[in-house]
Amino acid sequence: MVKGAPERPGEFGFIETYMAPLATGNEGALGLKDDAGLFDVAPGHRAVVTTDALIAGIHFRDTDPPDSVGAKALAVNLSDLASMGAAPLGYTLILALPKDWTADWAAGFSNGLAAMQQRHSLQLLGGDTVAANGPLTIGVTAFGSVPEGRQIMRSGAGTSDDIWVSGSIGDAALALAIYNAGDSDRMAAPEYAALLDRLQRPEPRVALGQKLVGIATAAIDISDGLAADLGHLCHASAIGANIETENIPLSAAARDCLGAPSYGMDIVIGGGDDYELLFTAPPSQAADVTQAAERSGCAVTRIGRANAKNRVRFAAADGHEIEIKKPGWAHF
C-alpha cells in the first residue's frame, strides 16, 4: 500500500462504504443486507433485462480514471435498455477486484456509478464482490420496463424505412485508433480530449429510446460499430440498407481528425463504443422522430434507407461504394 493512502476496508466494509450508498432510495435493495433484491414492474408492462461484462485491458485501460470506469460499466447496460425503449428500474453489480486495488480507486469507481445512476434515476439492487488473481472484471445486469407489446426490437424494420442514428458517430473509435498508433502529436491536441471523453464516458440515450416507443420500428445500440450493428439489425429484420456516408453525423473533433491520412471513414463506420441508437422508422414518421429527439434533448440524423436487397451498402457522396476493412468489434 502507498504510504499515506487510505486503508482498504475488508469485504463487508467495502460493501458498506462504497456500495450501500448506491442503493439509497430503493427499498427493494434492502440496504444490500439480504440475499437478493426486489423490484416491481407496473401492471401492463414487461421487464427488460440486459447484462454486460467489462475487463481491464480489453474494454478499458488500467490507467483510465476510476470514475469513468464506473460510469461506463453502467452506461453500456443502460444503452441496451434504451434501444428497447425501456425505462430503467435498477441494476446489480459483480466486481472481481485484483489484488492491488486501492481505497481511492474504489471511491472513484463508486462516484462514477453514482453520477450515472443519478442522471437516469435508478439505484443498485445488489451484487457480489470477490478477489481475483486476474484483471479487474466488472459485470452489470440492468433491469427496466416497457409497456406490454411496445418494446422496440431489432426485427421490426420495413423495407422502405428511413435509417437514423442519434448523436455523432466514430469519436470513440478515433480516440482508440490515435492511442493505439501512439500518435503523440494528435494526443496533445485539444480535439483528442473530446474524442477520449466519448470513449471513456459514453452517454446512453435513455430518454430518446423511451420517446421512440410507438415511432421506431426497430432499434439497436451501436456498441460493436455502425457497420456491424446495422448488419445485426438488417439480419434480424430481413432487410438491406443503403447508407449515405456523407450524412453520418460527425463531431467537430472527428472532422478534424479525418483530415489526416491515417484516419478515415472506415474507422468511423467500422469502429465501436459509440453507444448511440441506430433505429428505423417509416418516412411518414419523420416529423415524429424529430419531435421525439427534440423532447429528449438528443440530436438525430437520417443516414439512409432500408431496402429489400438483403445487403448493406455504404455509399460515398459520388455514389461509389466504400469498402469496410473492419466491419466491427468481435471478441472471437
User: What is the mean pLDDT of the segment spanning 276-301?
Assistant: 98
Q: Closest Cα partner for 243 from 254, 233, 256?
A: 233
What is the grid cell recorded at 41? Answer: 414492474
Q: Which CATH architecture has domain 11-147?
A: 2-Layer Sandwich (3.30)
The pLDDT of residue 319 is 86
pLDDT > 90: what percent of the chain? 90
User: What is the mean pLDDT of the segment spanning 217-244?
Assistant: 97
Range scoring the smallest mean pLDDT among 174-178, 197-201, 317-321: 317-321
What is the grid cell recorded at 200? Answer: 471513456
User: What is the mean pLDDT of the segment spanning 231-243?
Assistant: 97
**Is the CB of residue 161 less than 8 Å from the CB of residue 279?**
no
Range scoring the smallest mean pLDDT among 76-80, 185-189, 274-278, 281-285: 185-189
What is the secondary structure of 15-37 as a DSSP string? Answer: IIIIIHHHHTT-GGGGGG-SSS-
**Nearby residues of 30 by Cβ (< 8 Å), 6 or more positions away:** 37, 38
CA–CA separation, 49 vs 77, rounded Å?
9
Range scoring the smallest mean pLDDT among 38-52, 60-74, 286-300, 311-325: 311-325
CA–CA separation, 41 vs 146, rounded Å?
9
Annotated domain spans of the chain:
11-147, 162-315
pLDDT > 70: what percent of the chain? 98
CA–CA separation, 135 vs 114, rounded Å?
23
The pLDDT of residue 4 is 58
Residue 120's Cα: distance from chain center in Å?
14
- DSSP assigned state of 137: E
CA–CA separation, 98 vs 8, rounded Å?
13
The pLDDT of residue 206 is 98
What kind of fold does domain 162-315 have according to CATH? Phosphoribosyl-aminoimidazole Synthetase; Chain A, domain 2 (3.90.650)
Cross-strand partners of 220: 278
Question: What pTM does this model have?
Answer: 0.95
pLDDT at residue 166 tops 70: yes
**Is the CB of residue 300 less than 8 Å from the CB of residue 289?**
yes
Using pLDDT thresholds of 50, 70 and 90, give the confidence band for residue 5.
low
User: What is the mean pLDDT of the segment spanning 233-255?
Assistant: 97
Q: Closest Cα partner for 204 from 120, 328, 107?
A: 120
- DSSP assigned state of 278: E
**Is the CB of residue 142 less than 8 Å from the CB of residue 50?**
yes
The pLDDT of residue 1 is 44
- As a whole number, the mean pLDDT across the chain is 95
